Structure 1
Amino acid sequence: MPSAAMTVAAGLATGPGSRVTRFAKSTAASVTPVRPGKTHALSPLDNAMERHTVHVVVYLRAAPGLDREQLKESLSEVLSLYPAMTGRLTRGEGSADAEPAHRGWVVKCNDAGVRMVDARAAVTLDEWLATATGDEEMDLLYYEPMGAEPYIWSPFYVQLTEFTDKSYALGLSCIHIHNDPTAAALFFHAWAAAHRRTTSTYPPFLHPPALAVSPTSPPPAPPLLAEKASAASPTSTDAAAAMSSATFHFPASAVRALLSSLEPGTTPFAALAALFWLRITGAADGERELTLALDFRKRMYAPLPWGYYGSSVHFTRARADLASGLPAVAAALDRHVAGVPEEELWRALEWLHTRQQQENAPFQMYGPELTCAALDHVPMYGAEFEAGASPARVSCRVGGATGEGLVLVLPAPEGGEARDVVVTLPAGATARVCRDAEVLRHGAEVVFGAKAEKEE
């Protein structure tokens, strides 16, 4: 019979040839106990994200005040502000006419803690950034899917990976039920503030009723969400394994040059979303549709704080004639994003609420059609664990986006017009995009490429 140590090591193992070694797993607890009986309700939109996970990696260069024990200490301190993170999921109880807070998943804030994994990488940070593939970057993250006993399963996992030059990668993985990419990225702001013993610019706002709805009659189904729900099928492990990721960096000069060739006023998001839409689909003739995932914290009449804890992603369908060329396609995306009415957001929330009361079967929100998410508004590089030292790089992924794939447009380390684009596509498509002459012509630098690209 294998020893306990052997069992833990096996569970933490990375793939053959990995330069990352995970060597310990523990639990990080809050320094401040939660009052007994406290719960955190999840909105119908949160519950709809059950098939998806969120993964964020923050790379920090070596600094005098940055070591493993200090990071663990500040993590325990910041968890005091996030009682839902250290809790466990339980099914809500109630009849079909119960309040939304008592249907679907509910978080029991029981101070069970978050899982923490310690790891080391056999290279320096700069060597890693120069040579790692998109798939290798996942070795900096640790996640265990929910099992048959969710009340003992940790929805959050934090991996601390130390490079040989004493730099660190902080990897956060969680189920999308708890947090969307914006909330997950801004958690690092609060962690960094706790590390510097100051106050976060984006304090957590744990107030589920902020998105509460109670329609008086069943609302009509939003076409996009209705299609996703009717096409629902379990996400297989094989399908997830067939997907591959890569990261493209567009310096500010490259983005400015791209924008100069487009209609005045075109946003970097629309320009890059249009570019990758055209290159991924092969610039097919005729009108096509692209699903956009938009953060609506600040798109409502009564906006939510940036620190809102939960999901606030709205999925909307844009249309454009791909034969009309990049300038026209980018302009069409900008017009659509600017024209999404708040009523559309609430109709989607009302429909998800009603559907949750009738059935609780999850379905794929990111995909199966090609989806592009706008995250370049998120101040990811403000998480300064040492005053004045921004992260060297921040990466973000969304798990469960199988099918045609997902494109994320993110801010870049140097700020301004610079952007990073993370694609998660079928493996062959990822390799093709990494070699695409049009993408490279527009100044893209492949930071974390596809495995096939690295081997050539």
Structure 2
Amino acid sequence: MGEQSCRVNLHSKLTAVSSKPVDPGRTHQLTPLDQAMGQHSLHLAFYYDKNPFGSFDWDPIRVSLSETLSLYPPVTGRMTRGEAGNWEVKCNDAGVRVKRANVSVTIDEWLRNANGIEEKDLAAWEEMPENPNTWSTFHIQVSEFEGGGVAIGINCSHMNADLTSLILLFKAWTEVHRQQVIEHPPVFSSESALHGREVPISSTKLAKYYVTKSISVAPSAKMASTTFKFSNSVIKKCLSEIHVKCSDATPFDLLAALFWTRIARLKSSKDEHKQSMSICIDFRKLLKESLPYGYFGNALHFSQLTLEDKDVISGELANMADAVHGHVAGIKEEEIMSMVDWFESRKGEEGKYAPPFRMYGPELTCINMEHVINGDESLIYAAMFEENMKPVHVACHVGNVKGEGLIMVMPSAEEGLARTVIVTLPEDELVKLCEDEAILSLEPTMLLSGGL
């Protein structure tokens, strides 16, 4: 628990199991990309201004969760080493850890003055022990605020799922609870292209990028996080201003460019001639034989955009947004498969993968979540346990982010082009970023500012 956890008081723990037993001996094989995410964890917190269940009669809540878990055998399983020594999931119905807590302030007060340390207490995480036989890879926490608000935290090892998978797991729970059809049922496949090609083709440029990441050591500066919420009207106005240069610019292109330029100014004392940022996208729909949206696992592609220092520090925002847009649009299936091939090639003679390294870092990294938005609605804010009771805010953190920092461009509770940007930086840099005139001119609402 964090240093300021006195406002979040755990009062009970239980284990939720699936309503139907799994076939004996079933295992879930992790892909090369799953194995590579081993240094990270994922943390989501869904905030509701009223009790989303209507009451805290735990039995119907537990029933809907158990019914949901019956569709997700790997979620209730336990990590184990396979024959070659690689991680896999033993689907043994061991269950998911569920915790309940009380928060001694209202939800409005919490969002105004809580920080990153406290927010992690809404989804308390336990690192994987050396022997994970009894360790739950997924955790859920239900925290009640004074006055009726509720936060539901869910987290997991990044080896088991990416952010899209975790969002869809939570959304499936809400759909089962409302006795609705699951919009995106989970798909588990160990025969997919994500295990690499029979005749691998390596991209020299991509291989150099990943090799550099794998041997880099990130600074150990204390990291901090702040959430910026930008309104629909502001983003619409900004996009119209850069329309001449980049007519197809998305809110992600705009905000990735904005925060890259402002953060680069904070780091410009490094006297570098070029500036680089890694961009993380979901590739479920980028393959010719696209993965189902409900594919459960990791379907993330990291790539690097490098520009001249002067273009980043002093360049026009429209040009930067155009560069980001062109980079993302240029990512094709061959590049993605080359990435999978590279991770597959890291197997030793006996078939064991090389140890994972930090994927979110050490360079500045930006996550694009535009794919979870369809028109004016997002999958995240469609997670409703009762009709028309949407979350008022959803927070997300990636565990073990070090180095230059992380920018997450997420959907927002306001519909349309509104976006939420969660920024994690070295603490001294984040203080300066929160005072940046270019960002403040867009009148963002800032939430949950503080150390991790």
TM-score, length-scaled by structure 1: 0.89
Q: 1:428 to 1:67 in 2, by over 3 A?
A: farther
Q: Does the 8 A contact of 1:44 with 1:356 survive in 2? A: no
Deviation at 1:18, TM superposition (A): 3.4
1:209 aligned counterpart, secondary structure: coil
Query: Relative to structure 2, which stretch is displaced further, 220-229 or 375-384?
Result: 220-229
Query: Relative to structure 2, which stretch is displaced further, 210-219 or 81-90?
Result: 210-219
Q: Which residue of 2 aligns with 1:318?
A: 305
Q: Does the 8 A contact of 1:252 with 1:418 survive in 2? A: yes
Q: 1:451 to 1:51 in 2, by over 3 A?
A: closer
Q: 1:30 to 1:401 in 2, by over 3 A?
A: same
Q: Does the 8 A contact of 2:224 with 2:425 survive in 1? A: yes
Q: Which residue of 1 aligns with 2:277?
A: 290
**Residue 137 of structure 1, aligned match among 96, 105, 119:** 119
Q: Which residue of 1 aligns with 2:86?
A: 104
Q: Which residue of 1 aligns with 2:327?
A: 336
Q: Which residue of 1 aligns with 2:357?
A: 363
Could you tell me how far apart the structure 1 residues matched to 2:303 and 2:451 are?
Answer: 32
Q: Which residue of 2 aligns with 1:99?
A: none
Q: 1:367 to 1:162 in 2, by over 3 A?
A: same
2:279 aligned with 1:299, yes or no?
no
Q: Which residue of 2 aligns with 1:228?
A: 213
1:304 aligned counterpart, secondary structure: coil
Query: Relative to structure 2, which stretch is displaced further, 399-408 or 210-219?
Result: 210-219
Residue type matched to 2:398 in 1?
Answer: V
Residue type matched to 1:130 in 2?
Answer: R
Q: Which residue of 2 aligns with 1:248?
A: 228
Could you tell me how far apart the structure 2 residues matched to 1:434 and 1:78 are?
Answer: 40
Deviation at 1:360, TM superposition (A): 2.3
What CA deviation, in whole Å up to 9, does each residue of 1:154-176 have, x standing for no partner? 11111110112232111011100
Q: Does the 8 A contact of 1:104 with 1:356 survive in 2? A: no
Residue type matched to 1:83 in 2?
Answer: P
| Structure 1: gaps spanning 5 or more residues | 1-12, 95-102
2:11 aligned counterpart, secondary structure: strand
Could you tell me how far apart the structure 2 residues matched to 1:164 and 1:72 are?
Answer: 23
Query: Relative to structure 2, which stretch is displaced further, 82-91 or 435-444?
Result: 435-444
Q: Which residue of 2 aligns with 1:431?
A: 431
2:18 aligned with 1:35, yes or no?
no
2:64 aligned with 1:74, yes or no?
yes
**Residue 191 of structure 2, aligned match among 196, 209, 214:** 209
**Residue 49 of structure 1, aligned match among 13, 31, 37:** 37
Could you tell me how far apart the structure 2 residues matched to 1:448 and 1:149 are?
Answer: 34
| Structure 2: gaps spanning 5 or more residues | 373-378
Could you tell me how far apart the structure 1 residues matched to 2:75 and 2:215 are?
Answer: 32
Query: Relative to structure 2, which stretch is displaced further, 246-255 or 205-214?
Result: 205-214
Q: Does the 8 A contact of 2:39 with 2:357 survive in 1? A: yes
Q: Which residue of 1 aligns with 2:418?
A: 418
Could you tell me how far apart the structure 2 residues matched to 1:265 and 1:287 are?
Answer: 26
Could you tell me how far apart the structure 2 residues matched to 1:64 and 1:402 are?
Answer: 35
What CA deviation, in whole Å up to 9, does each residue of 1:49-92 have, x standing for no partner? 00000111111232574334143332222111110000011111
Q: Does the 8 A contact of 1:57 with 1:140 survive in 2? A: yes
Could you tell me how far apart the structure 2 residues matched to 1:134 and 1:72 are?
Answer: 29
Q: Does the 8 A contact of 1:121 with 1:161 survive in 2? A: yes
Query: Relative to structure 2, which stretch is displaced further, 164-173 or 337-346?
Result: 164-173
2:182 aligned with 1:200, yes or no?
yes
1:352 aligned counterpart, secondary structure: helix
Deviation at 1:219, TM superposition (A): 3.5
What CA deviation, in whole Å up to 9, does each residue of 1:213-260 have, x standing for no partner? 2433674552211111122x5x89xx38x1111100001011112212
Could you tell me how far apart the structure 2 residues matched to 1:386 and 1:276 are?
Answer: 36
TM-score, length-scaled by structure 2: 0.90
The 5-angstrom pairing of residues 389-428 of structure 1 reads 389-428=389-428
**Residue 189 of structure 1, aligned match among 161, 171, 176:** 171
2:342 aligned with 1:351, yes or no?
yes
Q: Which residue of 1 aligns with 2:450?
A: 450
Could you tell me how far apart the structure 2 residues matched to 1:17 and 1:313 are?
Answer: 33
Residue type matched to 1:226 in 2?
Answer: V
Identity of aligned residues (%): 40
2:11 aligned with 1:23, yes or no?
yes
Q: Does the 8 A contact of 2:252 with 2:409 survive in 1? A: yes
What CA deviation, in whole Å up to 9, does each residue of 1:93-135 have, x standing for no partner? 14xxxxxxxx621100001111111111112222222332233
Q: Does the 8 A contact of 1:179 with 1:310 survive in 2? A: yes
Q: RMSD across aligned C-alpha pairs, in angstroms?
A: 2.1
Q: Does the 8 A contact of 2:284 with 2:299 survive in 1? A: yes
Q: 1:217 to 1:267 in 2, by over 3 A?
A: closer
What CA deviation, in whole Å up to 9, does each residue of 1:325-351 have, x standing for no partner? 211111100001001121000000011
Q: 1:64 to 1:202 in 2, by over 3 A?
A: closer
Q: 1:439 to 1:415 in 2, by over 3 A?
A: same
Could you tell me how far apart the structure 1 residues matched to 2:393 and 2:190 are?
Answer: 31
Could you tell me how far apart the structure 2 residues matched to 1:334 and 1:112 are?
Answer: 44
**Residue 160 of structure 2, aligned match among 165, 173, 178:** 178
Q: 1:27 to 1:126 in 2, by over 3 A?
A: same
Q: Does the 8 A contact of 1:253 with 1:418 survive in 2? A: yes
1:388 aligned counterpart, secondary structure: coil
Query: Relative to structure 2, which stretch is displaced further, 254-263 or 136-145?
Result: 254-263
2:295 aligned with 1:308, yes or no?
yes
Q: Which residue of 1 aligns with 2:371?
A: 377
Q: Does the 8 A contact of 1:215 with 1:350 survive in 2? A: no
Residue type matched to 2:146 in 1?
Answer: T
What CA deviation, in whole Å up to 9, does each residue of 1:379-427 have, x standing for no partner? 2111111012211111111111211111000000012100000011111
